[in-house]
Amino acid sequence: MLLDLIVDVREREEYVQGHIKGAINIPLFDMRYHLSLLEGRKVLLYCNTGHRSRMAAEYLHSQGVDAEVIPPSKMKDYEMEGHRMLCAVNFLAVKPGLESEFEKKVRELCQYTYGVEGFLGSKIFRVTTISYGGSGLRGEYTDIKVQPTEYVMLTYWTSIEAHERFHEDPKVREGFMSLTEYLAMMPREFYAEILR
């Protein structure tokens, strides 16, 4: 049998902010992609409430993997590590017909961001349609096009100071200014604390 593994089944952002020292992060809904790593090992699973780790254990048992849950009450027995993580959230609306050019510029800016001190990753979303259920709309679902096209950009940082230093970089400032020609309205950016 291979060495035991301790697996944190929470989302990456939760893991970064505090986890058992030496644990690896495999979020619950990604477990199926890592079966070959887990096979032949005793796997110890945990999360903050026990709910997701129990779900992961049930799934792994169904796949023939030896898995056990570390109860939340036993977490104090382990050495923990991690650091603060915050999110800068940007809302952007792009003029119709300029989406491809805008996305290309954003990709270039994101590539520059990798390697910047304090940067911990990013996600970019293009809004595609309106959710009837989440918006409380009535009637049968119809695909409603969102115009102008909206984007949500999340960037993760170790601190507000790291993010502010990033924006002081002349190349970054120039990159952000070059995006304004594509925008249908002024962008909004704010900081968000990651709760879960």
Among 132-141, 151-160, 173-182, the range of highest mean pLDDT: 151-160
pLDDT attached to residue 2: 64
Rounded to an integer, what distance in angstroms lies between the CA atom of residue 110 and that of residue 175? 10
pLDDT attached to residue 151: 96
Report whether 160 contacts 86 (CB < 8 A). Answer: yes
Average pLDDT over residues 23-51: 97
Is pLDDT larger for residue 140 or for residue 182? 182
Report whether 126 contacts 195 (CB < 8 A). Answer: no
| CATH 3.30.70.100-classified regions of the chain | 86-193
The single-letter code of the amino acid at 157 is W
5-81: CATH topology? Oxidized Rhodanese; domain 1 (3.40.250)
Q: How confident is the model at residue 65 (pLDDT cuts 50, 70, 90)?
A: very high
Report whether 50 contacts 28 (CB < 8 A). Answer: no
- Bridge partners (DSSP) of residue 69 are 45
pLDDT above 90 covers what percent of the chain? 80
Average pLDDT over residues 83-111: 95
CATH number of 86-193: 3.30.70.100
Q: How confident is the model at residue 98 (pLDDT cuts 50, 70, 90)?
A: very high
Q: How confident is the model at residue 1 (pLDDT cuts 50, 70, 90)?
A: low
- Can you give the length of the chain in residues? 196
Report whether 93 contacts 148 (CB < 8 A). Answer: yes
CA-nearest of 56, 1, 61 to 23 is 56
What DSSP designation does 90 have?
E
Looking up tokens 């120039």 gives 174
Average pLDDT over residues 106-129: 92
Q: How confident is the model at residue 144 (pLDDT cuts 50, 70, 90)?
A: confident
The single-letter code of the amino acid at 42 is K
pLDDT attached to residue 45: 98
pLDDT over 70 at 180, yes or no? yes
In the three-class reduction of DSSP (H, G, I as helix; E, B as strand; rest coil), residue 66 is classed as: strand
| CATH 3.40.250.10-classified regions of the chain | 5-81
pLDDT attached to residue 75: 94
Q: For the chain, what is the mean pLDDT?
A: 93
Global model pTM greater than 0.75: yes
In the three-class reduction of DSSP (H, G, I as helix; E, B as strand; rest coil), residue 125 is classed as: strand
Average pLDDT over residues 164-192: 92
CA-nearest of 27, 16, 152 to 86 is 16
